[in-house]
Amino acid sequence: MSRSSFYHWKKRKPTKRSERRAVLSSEIFSIYHWSRGRYGSPRIARELEAKGMKASRPFVARLMRERGLRSIVKKKFKKTTNSSHRYPVVENYLNQNFQTNNSKEVWVSDITYIRTSQGWLYLTTVIDSFDRKVIGWSLSETMKAQDTSIAALKMARLHRPLQDHDSLIFHSDNISCI
């Protein structure tokens, strides 16, 4: 390349295409940050069109990629409960009425799934409905009843020992026992 060609190239004015690209890129950047990183190329392309700027979705995606902009992708809902099983379903004695007058009348239990870097952990809690305190819990790497529900119930019975005359309702998502 000759020296004169290089200086001519260096002095040239930006083309309309490069100016449009710069304007679109800056507008995409502002829309992206206005949406707090939630908008991807389809939504940003619609926002640009609403502002009177035409740009195809693939072109918007290319400009976003060049600037290192990636939208926050919402994770899909993962179903963790199997409601279509062949096991007997116990009658619901509480019917969403969890208020009690005395301790050791109603205990409720639930399992929470916790994702860790080593895999899933299962936290089972037992709560006394009277004072809403956690009286038993269990953290397990398996979903075996012995490691989750039974372990949490044993701990609850240690913290709140039951007498022969106590009539306790133990309520869980799928079970309610007297």
- What is the residue-wise DSSP string for 17-58? HHHHHHHHHHHHHHHHHHTTT---HHHHHHHHHHTT----HH
C-beta of residue 53 within 8 angstroms of C-beta of residue 131: no
Q: For 111-156, what is each residue's pLDDT tens digit?
A: 888 888 888 899 999 998 888 899 999 999 988 888 888 899 999 9
Q: For 76-122, what is each residue's pLDDT tens digit?
A: 777 666 667 777 777 776 767 677 777 778 888 888 888 888 888 99
Contacts of 87-94 with CB under 8 Å at 24 or more apart are 89/174, 90/174, 90/175, 90/176, 90/177, 91/176, 92/176, 93/169, 93/171, 93/176, 93/178, 94/169, 94/171, 94/176
Residues in a beta bridge with 110: 125
Enter the pTM of the model. 0.51
Q: What is the DSSP letter of 117?
A: T
pLDDT the model gives residue 125: 94
